[in-house]
Structure formats: C-alpha cells, structure tokens
Amino acid sequence: MDNTVYVALGSNLGDREKNIENAIEQIGKLEGTHVIKCSSLYETEPVGYLDQGRFLNAAAMVMTMWSPLELLAKFQEIENQLGRTRDIHWGPRTIDIDILLYEDLKMDLPDLTIPHPRMTQRGFVLIPLEEIFEDRILMGKDIIKLIDSCDDKNGVKLYRGKVSE
C-alpha cells in the first residue's frame, strides 16, 4: 500500500543544488517509492547554529510502501551516501532529509516525531511545502496563516524553479 509522505530537504555544503537533486533522485530509486512532486528551491538563513553558510531548501511529496521508521533509515542511508556528518546539532550539512508528514499519522518516538515538531514555526519548511501541499489545512491551521506567522519568512528567498522529479 502506498503512503503519502511530505519531505523537507536542505543543504549548505558543497554544491547545494546538486546535493538536493541527488537526494531526490536517490529517494525516487528506493524500492516501492515514487517522487510525485517537488517544490522550487529556496535560499535561507541558517537556524539554530548560525555560524554557517546559507541553505538551499526544498520539499517533496513522495509515495512509499515503507513504514515511517523504515523510511527514516532509508533517508539516513541516502544522507550518509551524500556525505552527511552529524558533528554539530543544526550544523552545516551536505544534505538533510526530514519526514514532515506521513499520511495522517501521529507518532512521537526518540528518533522520529510525526508531524515534524518544528515545521509550523519554520518558513524555510512551510514556504516550499505550501507549493506542493494538496490541502490548505496543515495541523488544523491554514498553511498561509502559518507562513504569515513565521518569524523567519522574510529570510526565505526563491533561488530557482522546481527541482527535477
């Protein structure tokens, strides 16, 4: 059975654009997984750990047969293949792949929380997500109103049109 999953991607090391494109390509190559839609790329200021370069961010809608924890493991394998290291919390990275939403599922485990716990506070997640989200209501609120209430929305700038799917 295919499950609809929304994913956030970010990169601020190396060829940021290529890193996101490679991650999306690798996601699409996972058995039982198809990338349905991708957002545009947005350039954004770092959050949390500020002593690092600007990020490129995007969102993707994916259909998959994998469970949330299996998909998390697959995404971490892709991150590792693309050179991701986890030295500094919220630090620089070649690629970051986060599960934002998985169907209507709610879960809170040590390694995975769905819906993503901070996504409604982050313009760099909401603005790309809004492009591809098939509903206007996100977690009981209008997605445009959520974007309007984000403190960091003004730091999110369109970098380039849609990422190849």
pLDDT at 10: 94
Is 16 assigned a catalytic role?
A: no
Is 96 assigned a catalytic role?
A: yes
Question: What confidence tens digit (pLDDT) does each residue in 84-123 have?
Answer: 666 656 568 789 999 999 999 999 999 999 999 888 888 9
147, 163, 134: which is closest to 4 by C-alpha? Answer: 134
* Active-site position among 2, 15, 84, 104: 84
* Active-site position among 15, 98, 135, 148: 98
Is 54 assigned a catalytic role?
A: no
Is 93 assigned a catalytic role?
A: yes
pLDDT at 89: 60
Q: Is the domain 3-162 a CATH 3.40.50.150 member?
A: no
* Active-site position among 54, 96, 108, 136: 96
Q: Which residues of the chain have pLDDT under 50?
A: none
pLDDT at 137: 86
90, 75, 82: which is closest to 33 by C-alpha? Answer: 75
Residue with tokens 């098939």: 134
Measured in residues, the chain has a length of: 165
* Active-site position among 54, 93, 108, 151: 93
